Structure 1
Amino acid sequence: MENSAGRLGNEAKMRRGNAGCSTDSRKTILSICETAQGGVGRYQESLRALGAQGFDFHILLPDAHREILEDRRNVVTFSRDRRGPGAIYRLIRAVFEQKRRLGPDVLFFNSTFSLLPLFALRLARDRTPAVYCAHCWAVSNYEPTSLKGRLVRFLEGRLCGLADLVVNVSEGDAQLARTFGYRGRHVVVANATPDVAEVQPVALTRTNDDEVQLLFVGRFDRQKGLDILLDAFGKARQRGANVRLHLVGAPVRGSDLPVIPEGVEQHGWVEPGQIDRFFKAADAVIVPSRWEGLPLTIPEALRNGTPVFVSDRSAMPDLIEDGVSGGSFDLSVEALVDCLGRMERGELVEMRAGARATYEARFTMDRFSDALARHLRQVLKD
């Protein structure tokens, strides 16, 4: 017997068809976000590129996060003041409500806590095709052999298998999933970012013509490794490195502001439309993260022709061609001191063409939407 959720979903599809939208030609995606902060929100903008591939895109996210999105078409919200059991209950209820209203062909679940409404749907015997994207596996936050690490591995590694497809945003994420035996059918569709028109670089302080202007973009928290960068930057300056560091971002989740050495300028968070002006002005971008999926900072910098230097974590060095579009360093203070001390502005300027070429070869929206649409069509055939 057909369950009520499935029956109502079919009725919603019939209503769309009667209204003049052919359900045979276009499919509806409902993207479910327990949070839209950070890369998850920016990823939703990327998913909108599926519109050119025959998909109508809708987003469910917390009401407090709606303003994060630049494009707010087809956005619905649920009440969430902070993370907790009450917020998860309201999210699950909202998922069932939007499923009845839209009758989506595909459900797209984003990040760890969205696995709970997926679990609830499967308990209700709802078999709507589902895709899951972790945006960086939660186990990356923990020592894998610790009690918390083993618990997280058990939960996310099994619950992700409830989806018909698991999309990894980087080869590093896919490798971690293979290492821990996570369930499900896994594919890699690397993060991407839309191209932008030529922008006017922001004016950055420069004390001499050869001074290297470095840029860090992100949250001031442990994951992003700003504490390591600031320690290394201060020591590199003491040893004569001709560098200046610009920070775009701020502390979050109650984290303390790190000690800021001389030669560092803070710009706070900037509007999305302004961030490319900083990328364009910088000589290089530094990504000293302890763990990542695929931070959008990397393709955003590359699209502006800015070389990127990344830590050796989460397979990030595979995203950069050493000496062509940037470089990598062991994630230690001394290794980063050495990296900063060897930077020369002239060499970085010569890398700008290679950085832009890397973006065009690996991180365009056409490449992203073509690959993801192909996998989604396969899920629908299954």
Structure 2
Amino acid sequence: MHIGEYVNGGVNTYINEVLKYQTKKDDTCQIYVYASKKKSDKVYNESTKINTVYYKYSRSMFHLVKMIFYFRKKIKILKPDIIHIHSTFAGFFVRCALFTIRSKSKVIYCSHGWSFLMDTSNFKKKIYIICEKILSLCTDKIINISIYEHNQACKVKLPTKKMLLINNGISEKKLDNNKKSNASIKMQSKKIKVLFVGRLDKQKGIDILLKFVMKYKNQNFHFYIIGNSVLDNQYIEFPSNTSYLGKIDNSYIDDYYQASDVVIIPSRWEGFGLVAIEAMKNKKAIIVSNRGALPELVNNDNGFVFDIDNIQSLENIFNNLEKKELQNKGANGYQYFIDNYTSNEMNKKIYRLYNKLLNREGYN
């Protein structure tokens, strides 16, 4: 039983990779997947083993309470062997439900980015930590998706015996398309093509990037922005050396990575950095901020790290960029991805965890 809240972006990619793997396992007979109707991308459903439910929900106190009772009922009826919870809010209402019933289900929780590491007040961070400690009482295992996340969780004294580090991963295969995308046409520039992929919000640092682009006068670069605004009425002004491509269907996203020269990730906080390994998969160099787990994805051979509090450090990187160097770093990044961040390795570790929790023979 996989349960998420707003299953989009990185969480959606993660769940889809897991489902593709688990449906191929002979000892998996039925998988139930729950995601909010609102703000969730389509979940992988190309198997008769999968039952997908999109439930009515929006982020409010009323719906949080409603979800506690909703999942209390579902868990009692379905009696799943494994309950795998994805993201903070789902972690809250599902585990609150588990406090109210006797269940033999093994509970695994992945925050996909700890709430207490967000760019918010210290008071809120303390509340988030207290909540996570209480909710960990009805959790068998906690998966951390990066070294940074794991270390920070240990630092605030979440139960270390329950925690496990399993790096995020994605498939090394390129997505097959029946139709050819327009990526090469939309990104037809002789300049160095810089690509941003992500939500247009504070966390992803789109404002930091656009502020830099407006002030940076070097004409050797063109910036391409892929992603959608989180607010319907949000107006964003894009400079003349920037092309906004909107939201791109995930089945075509590899084409846009391949059409670029370098991928930039200026996030304020990041539990992992899925865009970085998507770039590496497509043999592209990366430029990342020095926040969250992003620096651990970069070595001297595959990209650059800039100080988010010192925009001059980003300018220094751009002043020295050359296409040949970017190509070399992209090739190095691909090997780094193959060695460390494929979904096959991630999924084998997750499935091994399932079997250990269920005391299956050969896994203890």
With normalisation by structure 1, the TM-score equals 0.84
* Structure 2 counterpart of 1:355: 333
* Structure 2 counterpart of 1:203: 185
Instruction: Return 5+ residue gaps in structure 1 as ranges.
Output: 1-29
Partners of 1:158 and 1:195 lie apart in 2 by 38
1:286-323 alpha-carbon deviations (Å, 9 max, x no partner) = 0110101112212211111111111111131111222x
1:229 paired with 2:190, answer no
Query: Is the contact between residue 214 and residue 239 of structure 2 (CA under 8 Å) also seen in structure 1?
Result: yes
Structure 2 counterpart SS, 1:74: strand
- Bigger shift: 212-221 or 346-355? 346-355
Distance 1:134 1:162, change over 3 A: same
With normalisation by structure 2, the TM-score equals 0.88
Query: Is the contact between residue 238 and residue 244 of structure 2 (CA under 8 Å) also seen in structure 1?
Result: no
**Higher Rg:** 1
Identity between Structure 1 and Structure 2 (%):
24
* Structure 2 counterpart of 1:7: none
Query: Is the contact between residue 143 and residue 149 of structure 1 (CA under 8 Å) also seen in structure 2?
Result: yes
1:380 paired with 2:352, answer no
* Structure 2 counterpart of 1:267: 245
How many residues align structurally? 346
- Bigger shift: 248-257 or 107-116? 248-257
* Structure 2 counterpart of 1:11: none
The 5-angstrom pairing of residues 89-168 of structure 1 reads 89-114=65-90, 115-143=92-120, 146-168=122-144
Query: Is the contact between residue 215 and residue 284 of structure 1 (CA under 8 Å) also seen in structure 2?
Result: yes
* Structure 1 counterpart of 2:55: 78
1:278 paired with 2:250, answer no
- Bigger shift: 302-311 or 112-121? 112-121
Distance 1:207 1:304, change over 3 A: closer
1:214 paired with 2:194, answer yes
Structure 1 counterpart SS, 2:356: helix
* Structure 2 counterpart of 1:44: 15
Distance 1:60 1:337, change over 3 A: same
Partners of 2:113 and 2:144 lie apart in 1 by 8
1:337-380 alpha-carbon deviations (Å, 9 max, x no partner) = 22222211111112232121112111112111111112222222
* Structure 1 counterpart of 2:148: 172
Partners of 1:103 and 1:198 lie apart in 2 by 35
* Structure 2 counterpart of 1:26: none
1:333 paired with 2:311, answer yes
Distance 1:198 1:153, change over 3 A: closer
Partners of 2:37 and 2:188 lie apart in 1 by 42
Partners of 2:355 and 2:255 lie apart in 1 by 37
Tell me by how many angstroms 1:255 deviates: 7.5
Query: Is the contact between residue 175 and residue 251 of structure 2 (CA under 8 Å) also seen in structure 1?
Result: no
Query: Is the contact between residue 79 and residue 90 of structure 1 (CA under 8 Å) also seen in structure 2?
Result: no
Counterpart of 1:288 (choices 266, 279, 285) is 266
Query: Is the contact between residue 213 and residue 245 of structure 1 (CA under 8 Å) also seen in structure 2?
Result: yes
Partners of 1:353 and 1:37 lie apart in 2 by 29
* Structure 1 counterpart of 2:281: 303
- Bigger shift: 329-338 or 93-102? 93-102
1:236-288 alpha-carbon deviations (Å, 9 max, x no partner) = 3x1x3521110001220357444322210000001111111100111111011
Query: Is the contact between residue 220 and residue 249 of structure 1 (CA under 8 Å) also seen in structure 2?
Result: yes
> Which amino acid in structure 2 is aligned with residue 129 of structure 1?
K
Partners of 2:187 and 2:293 lie apart in 1 by 33
Partners of 1:308 and 1:380 lie apart in 2 by 40
- Bigger shift: 307-316 or 119-128? 119-128
Query: Is the contact between residue 110 and residue 132 of structure 1 (CA under 8 Å) also seen in structure 2?
Result: yes
> Which amino acid in structure 2 is aligned with residue 50 of structure 1?
Q
Distance 1:264 1:68, change over 3 A: same
Distance 1:66 1:192, change over 3 A: same
Query: Is the contact between residue 229 and residue 333 of structure 1 (CA under 8 Å) also seen in structure 2?
Result: no
Tell me by how many angstroms 1:205 deviates: 4.1
> Which amino acid in structure 2 is aligned with residue 179 of structure 1?
K
> Which amino acid in structure 1 is aligned with residue 173 of structure 2?
V
Distance 1:61 1:229, change over 3 A: same
> Which amino acid in structure 1 is aligned with residue 325 of structure 2?
E
